[in-house]
Amino acid sequence: MHPAALAVEHLCPDIGGPRLRILITGGAGFLGVHLCKALLSRGNEVVAVDNFVTSSRNSIEQLTTSPDFTFIEGDVCANLPMEGEFDAIAHLACPASPNDYLRFPLETLATGSHGSEFVIQAAQKSSCRVVLASTSEVYGDPLQKPQREEYWGNVNPVGPRSVYDESKRYAEALFMAHRRTEKINTGIARIFNTYGPGLRPDDGRVVSRFIAQALRGEPLTVYGNGSQTRSFCYVTDLVEGFIRMLESNEPGPINLGNPDEISIIKLARMILTLTGSSSPLRFLPALEDDPAIRKPDIAKAKALLDWEPIVSLGEGLALTIAWQRDLFTRTTTAQTK
């Protein structure tokens, strides 16, 4: 838990206070599992929905031991049966790594449209707060640094990444339209690159890919010349910011991410040092529409949510490497039995 006080002005609802019933779509995903754990640890009842397209049952195994956790296997784009009402809803469902959303382009678009409509209707039925987990990808390949929420972005609407970018941009428009016309308490959190324990080694995102390659002694694959930058936020910091967004009445969009920027080539060398790996670097052609820079302006998050990340990249990478190393050890042991 973030050491700073949880008190935020205009809380709605106070998730750190009385026991609440909270719905999380995408609850078996990387962020979803961490959010479920955090909310359960605060004494809340959590209902999670996932269809396991980009996750697995193993990810929720520890959660199912809690009597306060309920899991519904299903697609948010379908008419899922939902019993009872909720005090808050977190809409995290959507393939988030390039590997996944390029593999499931139509499903990604459907989740941003039909899936978002479903959760908004659920929020309307319960008269509760609903927050969209949007993304820094709505800024596309930005021409502004750092990226502020007022920036409209530079997105290629027909490129291969557009299925994810436009899915989230549409979802943001949908959330705002329902807020304006039907007075639903919607919020938009724009999430920047997040990493930590639980991120699948084969996820395809750069941190998990580099760590997996380093631990296996394989070349670290760098697309382009490695000068492109990212800003990496440790998962517990991100979850704390998202919970504060759930607690607030802020419509957003509000950037949630770590403003410390690093180039991909420096990240690769940092992971090689932390893992003690002698893996070489292998440079591959740049990916189409791959953003050259990514650095959030988090002034709004500081002012409106009293939030900023506290875990340094070095500390977060060490924890992530330890988790992934342990996973490899357990997997190797199981395979040799």
Whole-angstrom distance, CA of residue 139 vs CA of residue 147: 8
Residue 318 in tokens: 């060490």
Q: Is 164 a catalytic residue?
A: yes
Strands annotated E in 53-212:
69-73, 88-91, 129-135, 186-191, 194-195
Q: Domain extents for the chain?
A: 21-330
- Amino acid type, 76: V
Residue of 101, 139, 164, 234 marked active site:
164
Q: Which class does domain 21-330 fall in?
A: alpha beta
In this prediction, the residues of the chain whose per-residue pLDDT falls under 70 are 1-17, 333-337
Q: What is the pLDDT of residue 98?
A: 84
What was the pLDDT predicted at 14?
Answer: 55
pLDDT per position as a tens digit, 54-107: 888 888 998 999 999 999 999 999 878 788 999 999 999 998 888 888 899 999
Q: Is the pTM of this model over 0.85?
A: yes
Q: pLDDT (tens digit, 9 = 90+) per residue, 169-182?
A: 999 999 999 999 99
Cβ partners under 8 Å of residue 258, min gap 6: 192, 231, 232, 233, 234, 237, 296, 309, 313
Dump pLDDT digits (tens) for 263-295. Answer: 999 999 999 999 999 999 999 999 888 899 999
Q: Write down the pLDDT at residue 13.
A: 47
pLDDT number for residue 9: 30
Compute how many other C-beta atoms are within 10 angstroms of the C-beta atom of residue 255.
26
What pLDDT, on a 0 to 100 scale, did the predictor assign at position 151?
96
Provide the pLDDT for residue 10. 33
The pLDDT, as a whole number, for residue 337 is 60
**pLDDT (0 to 100) of residue 119:** 95
pLDDT at 300: 98
* Type of residue numbered 72: I
